[in-house]
Each structure stands twice: as C-alpha cells, then as structure tokens.
Amino acid sequence: MAKIVGYIATSLDGFIADENDKLDWLFKYDEMDLGAHDYRIFVKSIRTVVMGRGTYDFLAKDPAPWPYGDQRVVVVTSRPIENPKGSLEIKDNVDDLIAELRKLDDGDVWMLGGGMLQMAFMERGALDEIEIYIIPELLGGGRPLFPPTGFRLTPKLISAKTLDKGCVRLHYRLS
C-alpha cells in the first residue's frame, strides 16, 4: 500500500505563498543545504504526484520543462485542462482518488502544493505523514499552510531538525 505524504515549505508566520501567490521569498533559499532531506532526493522516492488545479496552473505557467516526467501525475479538478503540460490524469472526486491511491503498490504518493488538498486528505485520514520546512521569513499575509476548516488533529512528531540558513524541518505522522 502506498504511503501518502506531504512535503511543503512555510514561512515562519504560516504562509506558503505571499499575498500575490508568489514564492520569491522561498526561492531565496534554493541553495540551502538540506542534506538527506533535499527535495531532489525526496522526489526520487515518489512514484505518484497529486496536486490541485491551482498548483498545476502555477507549475504549467513556468517556462521550464515539466518537472514530473518520471512520475504519475494526478490533478484534482472539475475543470478540463486544455493542452496539458506533461502527462497527467484528471480526477474530480477526492474519495474515489484516495481509494485508488491506497491500492497502489509501486511507490509513495506526494501531495504537492497548497494546503487545501492536503487538508481534504487529512480530514479523511488519508495523509499519512508530512514534512514541513519552516523558512525564517515573515510574510505578513498570503496563502496559509492549512486553510481554517475547523478540523482538529494531534499529529505525532517523528523528528525535528535545524537545517541550513535557520530552516527547521518538522516531520509528523498524521494517521
């Protein structure tokens, strides 16, 4: 059975993008040494990438080549995607998608991008673990790590580690 995981960066005040949905604040840390927790190492362990439509649209606007050619990519949306960038599957029912993902046995699943889809999975008990990278930046507003839905959970801390440039990695088990 595939493990469904999150891997996401947030500002110290809890935002994943600024008020203009920009990530410039995060890109300043691209050369940060994360050692064994580096994104390039992480993504090699992933077989399936799941993202919402907002994350897909953000990535599709980037002129760089599609970064997930080695993975199965699922976009959760109810709207068709014209001329998709990269090979992908479209799903519009989260419950059916979770059932499909749980049957996979060819590698882990990464919930890429914003907190709305991750929250939908958490609310259904379907996000197994999450790595949160806290970046020492205060944005003062923007897109929150997790949208306020009233959902409550007490995750189990697996590890906490101080990394390069004041970044802190928190690794939690959720289910």
pLDDT in tens, 20-73: 999 999 999 988 888 888 888 899 999 999 999 999 999 999 899 999 999 999
Which residue's structure tokens are 């101080």? Answer: 162
* Single-letter amino acid, residue 130: I
Residue spans per domain, the chain = 4-173
Into which CATH architecture does domain 4-173 fall? 3-Layer(aba) Sandwich (3.40)
Q: What is the mean pLDDT of residues 139-156?
A: 95
Give the pLDDT of residue 32: 85
Q: Which of 126, 113, 60, 118 is nearest to 88 (CA)?
A: 60
- Model confidence at 175, pLDDT cuts 50, 70, 90, reads confident
Contact call for residues 121 and 94 (beta carbons, < 8 A): yes
pTM, two decimals, is 0.92
Q: Which of 18, 37, 88, 33 is nearest to 59 (CA)?
A: 88
Which residue's structure tokens are 């996000």? Answer: 127
Tokens of 123: 């609310």
Q: How far is CA 154 from the centre of its chain?
A: 20
- Give the Cα-Cα-Cα angle 15, 17, 23 (nearest 5 degrees): 135
Contact call for residues 15 and 145 (beta carbons, < 8 A): yes
Contact call for residues 25 and 135 (beta carbons, < 8 A): yes
Contact call for residues 9 and 34 (beta carbons, < 8 A): no
